[in-house]
Structure 1
């Protein structure tokens, strides 16, 4: 049975744009439930400016409460050297850096060009790798941008190649606004896999137009075996009006198990967790599986 790795991004990418503060205890219970359901890579936070992302201000406290030696990876997002300093002080074992395939999105998101953003990462990468920290790279807007529209596959390949060349062990390709369709996914992956081995690629799909599961199926056929997803479909993009959350982890696991892949995830426990965090946020989960299954017991 072929394994597929799930990178759970709910506690970070999923919660970061919530308008009301999510309590530390709720975040920790969410992470603990996700781990109990069998997920082994869980994004735990982000060492970014609390001015811009207040929801992540307690990331050091989150990490301090977790057992970092329990065989579960808890990567955190790090945008610069200051963020790396804080991450290292918190004892992280893995970080993620993030670029974009769209010049306009890069300027709006981090106030820097693509080239400038990559230059910023050079110091972070060198220091992290020297300290034995794994680094994962994110590329945003790989299938479309809210400001530029369609993104040429070669632009995605250029950014992915740069991050991989710097030392990122894996490149996560993000359909940030969820506009991708299977044919676009195929074209993008064809271009990127020419410069980065497909075994080092991950898919990160948003479900704005209901295409995330179809796009994941297409990526599976292209050989991708790692996917980012968010419990209960949490998340969205503050720079993309109307963009819904990441594809729900429950829906992804349901697809993968139905296709005969092994994830190590207990789908029922995961659905319970989706309802837990949805109720904490006073809404229903954004996943079809959790809704079909009904309220948690």
Structure 2
């Protein structure tokens, strides 16, 4: 019988395991990436269980644990064991679904179970070709902002390297001072997660693009391969030194990876109105959806 004691913490040393597993069993949602788990560990306390090419993940936030999976090769018995653990949590987010295959398996076993759609955590997925070219009338205003930026700002782009790590960390501290991260616990966790990713970007296999204005970092994008068709943008930040830098870094990354990847996953909007409006302006191709199951809605198994 599966028990919470069977799980072990996700650490940086687990990178090779997750890389190998996800190469065999690709994922669609950013929340399950090894990078997000290890970088946000101080906040979410990720743990995992693996057996016979099956993977189960748990996360604990403010002493409330939720489960997801199994991913990979698994059978209904293991899924039932995970749901049993989830039921014990008494948590509204006891079990989370990040792919349509798991959703179908659960509904096949329990057709009447209540699944609640979690729009705030839908990942936005765009066609790379669209983000790189921004064609047609619907992108006219975005193109105008980009052209205005290029006329007003003396900018260059360059990849993030081991030599630029400290400059990038300094940039994030500036960004956090501007955004007053200390007043917002989640933003403070995000700062810590971002800096962790920068300090370990080679170990994590991350890529980064720097947008510089007058030779100072104005914006940055940190990303990686999510699957063979898709990259995921983990962090995209800009300072208020030259308006339009967010649109430019977005476009520059899309142009950089165009021809290599068909899609760009730009993660979720977390239910933040301004962020949702900004992401919808780019017309996502589709969403990587999320569903939750309340512990009280899980049947006795």
**TM superposition score normalised by structure 1:** 0.31
Quick one: higher RCO (CA 8 Å, sep 6+), 1 or 2? 2
Larger radius of gyration: 2
- More strand per residue: 1 or 2? 2
**TM superposition score normalised by structure 2:** 0.31
